């Protein structure tokens, strides 16, 4: 069989055709694509798309079909050594050490606040929204913030620690709406400067430092969208930091992308172009890390809402692209489009999850009542 026939046979298991008529079918612009993909795997799929070697009208649905059919598990890559390198690096190096953790901040989060302001909601939330009672992205993100505050049972005057604060949406919301004092840690220069500006006059302290440097004792702790950057070698440290900083009887909420299998490395394309050293945790990995430290009170999965969130981000990104053409080239546009729609498809296929986990330290009189 030719390389084209091998790939077509594989894609047929997911109802995908090469140069077909369906919006999720792949349109090949360069015949070299087939040998490149078979030789280099998922990294080359993304890179060849960035290079314009293939197109697809509906990328999100293409990846939904690929991942739902688990084609990624069926591929036997010729160049196994190349694919094995990320695993070896993760196995023998701490890819999320303090020195390496700054890499994702510089490459991804420090792209520029103007860029993200055009893609995200008005509160600059770069994590999954909660769409249960929402019709717009702004509403979904506010519902998410309020859900977190209610799950943490925030009370006026309480001291709250946030591990990784993004652009300060939670810190600002919790301080304004619930009257709490927030101390937040973040290593992104752009995000820290932005958060300090929007939180002026509020009881919010932003510290530009790694989460492992957190000190003090707090009533409640939140980590929203940072656990994905912790890495499997550091889940124990992550939980230990929270345990050290949480008062007896306090609550700790973790909001994180997650998966249904335990990984020690991430997708090579995501690793190279989007989130260096990132990794989605599993139930087993987080369970082992929290064992002996916390009581698991609530585990909420609303991963399907991330599909809606990502599609809303893509709509905003695409709508506002003309404003950024002079700063970023066409290859960047294709990279960002590929990233957003690949991720949307991964959540639509239910291969990726979004968890909110509520943990307690010590005894909660009467127990914890779950909130949805």
List the one residue out of 114, 108, 103, 217 whose CA is nearest residue 159. 217
C-alpha count within 13 angstroms, C-beta hemisphere, residue 201: 2
Residues ≥6 apart with Cβ < 8 Å to 332:
none
Handedness of CA 372, 157, 176, 118 (dihedral sign): negative
List the one residue out of 305, 272, 306, 281 whose CA is nearest residue 357. 281
* DSSP type of residue 12: G
* Active-site residue, from 56, 128, 149, 343: 343
| Number of residues in the chain | 372
Q: Report residue 278 as tokens.
A: 């990132």
The SS3 call for residue 163 is strand
List the one residue out of 263, 265, 235, 267 whose CA is nearest residue 343. 267
The SS3 call for residue 174 is helix
Print the SS3 string covering 299-367.
EEECCHHHHHHHHHHHHHHHHCHHHCCCCCCHHHHHHHHHHHHHHHHHHHCCCEEEEEEEEECCCCCCC
Which residue stretches of the chain are H helix?
3-11, 33-40, 42-50, 59-68, 71-74, 80-92, 98-104, 113-119, 137-151, 169-178, 189-198, 235-245, 268-273, 283-290, 304-319, 330-348
Phi, psi (degrees; rounded to nearest 5) at 253: -110, 130
343 is catalytic: yes
Residues ≥6 apart with Cβ < 8 Å to 272:
43
What angle is formed at CA 336 by the lines to CA 50 and CA 105, rounded to 5 degrees? 120
Catalytic residues, by residue number, are 343
């Amino acid at each position: 069989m030719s390389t084209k026939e091998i790939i077509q046979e594989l894609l047929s298991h997911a109802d995908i055709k090469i140069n077909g008529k369906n919006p999720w079918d792949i349109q090949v612009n360069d015949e070299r694509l087939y040998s490149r993909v078979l030789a280099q795997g998922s990294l080359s799929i993304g890179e060849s798309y960035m290079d314009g070697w293939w197109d697809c009208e509906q990328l999100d649905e293409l990846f939904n079909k690929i991942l739902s059919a688990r084609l990624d598990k069926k591929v036997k890559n010729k160049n196994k050594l190349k694919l094995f390198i990320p695993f070896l690096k993760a196995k023998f190096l701490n890819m999320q050490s303090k020195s390496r953790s700054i890499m994702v901040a510089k490459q991804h989060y420090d792209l520029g606040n103007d860029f993200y302001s055009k893609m995200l909601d008005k509160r600059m939330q770069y994590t999954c929204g909660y769409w249960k009672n929402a019709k717009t992205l702004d509403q979904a993100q506010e519902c998410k913030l309020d859900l977190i505050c209610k799950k943490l049972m925030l009370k006026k005057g309480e001291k709250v620690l946030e591990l990784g604060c993004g652009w300060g949406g939670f810190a600002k919301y919790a301080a304004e709406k619930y009257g709490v004092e927030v101390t937040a840690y973040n290593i992104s220069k752009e995000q820290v400067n932005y958060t300090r500006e929007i939180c002026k006059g509020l009881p919010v302290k932003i510290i530009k430092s790694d989460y492992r440097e957190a000190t003090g004792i707090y009533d409640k702790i939140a980590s929203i969208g940072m656990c994905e950057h912790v890495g499997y070698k550091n889940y124990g440290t992550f939980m230990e930091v929270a345990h050290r900083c949480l008062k007896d009887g306090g609550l700790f909420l973790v909001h994180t992308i997650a998966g249904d299998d335990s990984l020690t490395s991430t997708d090579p394309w995501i690793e190279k172009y989007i989130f260096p050293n990132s990794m989605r945790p599993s139930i087993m990995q987080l369970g082992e890390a929290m064992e002996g430290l916390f009581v698991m009170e609530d585990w909420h999965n609303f991963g399907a809402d991330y599909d809606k969130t990502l599609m809303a981000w893509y709509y905003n990104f695409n709508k506002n692209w003309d404003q950024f053409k002079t700063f970023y080239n066409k290859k960047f546009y294709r990279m960002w489009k590929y990233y957003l729609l690949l991720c949307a498809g991964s959540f639509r296929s239910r291969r990726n999850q979004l968890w909110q986990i509520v943990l307690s330290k010590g005894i909660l009189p009467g127990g914890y009542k779950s909130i949805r």
